Structure 1
């Protein structure tokens, strides 16, 4: 069996979310003048001219996109020149992070709810350092909490405060509101303007037909970054005999000695992962799955540094 998480990994405080700002430099999430973020290459085709500004013209180099050739300068100088662009320095980034009872679980390093909160905080601090406007929505509890995107540290702190309070209010005895993810996505469609970036941090099991439809509609006018969160026990059951699960008033018993049961459980998890992968490919957006068995910054750094063409684990 997996080792149980330490108490500090079961709930997270506002102070811990604020301290996450010191780890921003460990993961290159957004472009800087000195370095181009791998995320831009993963979803530049979805920008469709939004979120980028003209930077300069230089002599054409092998490998440059021929669609960026500046024909006027080329005709005037009789030498091929190409336009360079850089990311818009102030785009709305809307961080949607789930804090529902289904995330209040962890079988190894930390709870999924803590992992989701850590990821939201790191992305928020990264975006603030990049001079973007920060806002978001904490959903999955009794009621959602929304912060409108603003370019201020205060806006991010308000979001993190809501996130910490929602995290600390979680318990194994509460039930997750039905369709919370779908409703959160509908809200995002109402408030986000074209060119915004919606960062989706949710339980891997939250993806349903209705939420997938909302994600597809949202992707029509905003860019997306998908970070589904899971635990090793979401993907495979150990042969540990009779296991009892409880959530609210509901209880479930599983005989994990059954090979057929374990196989069916693993196949169901594989279908969930494949559904996320198909969705990301269809929408041409980055997919960065996170697992509660490993440290969050390490996972993001590994996936963003993965060679082109290799799928993130």
Structure 2
């Protein structure tokens, strides 16, 4: 099938590639895809478990002073360190994502990246949730065991991506914003989850930033910014042709115009990254014309 859209078999075939993802530092937070683990140990874990008598070598910071005073002998607190981090994927399949200068569209690249992350979550036994949205509708699945949510997510990615290709170039009567999608997702995202947002973030406005700030206080958030690298490949002179909805246009490039286009896009990506970084969100730029798995392995 054309790179303009994905199919379910294509997403199923990514299962083996997902095993090659090594979660390099800086790309996926430690433990984000590590599965559900609970280790009984002393320490400042998340969940209090029980009290027991102090033993030589115990960390004195774990002494429960109220119990110690009441029983007149040292007692320490024990914790179950909660290491589970559910995975939630928010995937943009709006018309603005249906763009490519060569190879696959931003929407197709987002669908494939989401499938890779979902398969990695499945291999590690993590709970998985998702929200896939286009300009008018969305499909939402709360975090559950991946054996139930992964097939549904692959169906959603296939349906929304193919529907986008079929509807192009018809403009929707209304456009669902990133902030509206985030608002719908909030109630389905458990505290402490790792949230991956796959979009071009073209409408990263004040409402969206406010919702991301709220989400960041509860979860670890990574932004996967999909972009086409046309601006890095523009010739200094020549003709640039574009088509949309059966209409075509061309622009005569000059050295100055190519430089202006390049700087405009570089500046927009830099502003996006600065805004997201200020919210405490890690930014991963993914070039749709390059191998996605290799970029994930490098931690881009």
Q: After TM superposition, is the score higher than 0.5? A: yes
2:218 matched residue in structure 1: 221
Give the match for residue 246 of structure 1.
244
Aligned twin of 2:291 = 295
Considering only CA atoms, is the larger Rg found in Structure 1 or Structure 2? 2
Deviation at 1:97, TM superposition (A): 0.6
SS at match of 1:11: coil
Q: Indicate whether 1:174 and 2:170 are aligned.
A: yes
Hey, what's the Cα distance between the residues in 1 that align with 2:182 and 2:229? 26
Report the equivalent of 1:127.
Answer: 121
Instruction: Provide the rounded CA distance (Å) in 1 between the counterparts of 2:79 and 2:238.
Output: 58
Match runs of 1:122-271 below 5 Å: 122-171=116-165, 172-175=168-171, 177-233=174-230, 237-238=234-235, 239-241=237-239, 243-246=241-244, 253=249, 255-271=251-267
CA distance in 2 between partners of 1:112 and 1:126 (Å): 21
Equivalent residues of 2:143, 2:188 under 8 A apart:
no
Aligned CA RMSD, in angstroms, stands at: 3.6
Which of 17, 27, 46 aligns to 1:23? It is 17
1:220 partner SS: helix
Separation of aligned partners in 2, 1:40 and 1:162: 26
Give the match for residue 277 of structure 2: 281
TM-score, length-normalised on structure 1?
A: 0.73
Mapped to 1, the partners of 2:255 and 2:179 lie a distance apart of: 34
Instruction: Classify 1:278/1:38 alpha carbon distance in 2 versus 1 (closer, same or farther; 3 Å).
Output: closer
Change (3 A) 1:41 1:253: same
- Judged with a 3 Å threshold, the aligned counterparts in structure 2 of structure 1 residues 92 and 234 are, in CA distance, closer, same or farther, namely farther
Structure 1 gap ranges (5+): 1-6, 31-35, 44-50, 59-71, 304-311
Report deviation, 1:218: 1.7
C-alpha distance 295-86 of structure 1, shift in aligned 2 (>3 A):
farther
Offset, 1:40: 2.8
- Deviations along 1:179-233, whole A, 9 cap, x unmatched? 5212111112233232122210012534334323322222121221110101112
The separation in 2 between residues aligned to 1:79 and 1:86, in whole angstroms, is 16
Using the alignment, how far apart are the partners of 2:277 and 2:117 within structure 1? 22
Residue 86 of structure 2: aligned partner? 92
Residues 10 and 57 of structure 1, relative CA distance in 2, 3 Å threshold: same
Any stretches of 5+ residues in structure 2 without a counterpart?
44-51, 63-77
TM, length-normalised to structure 2: 0.75
Distance in 1 between residues matched to 2:249 and 2:16, nearest whole Å: 43
Between Structure 1 and Structure 2, how many residues are aligned? 270
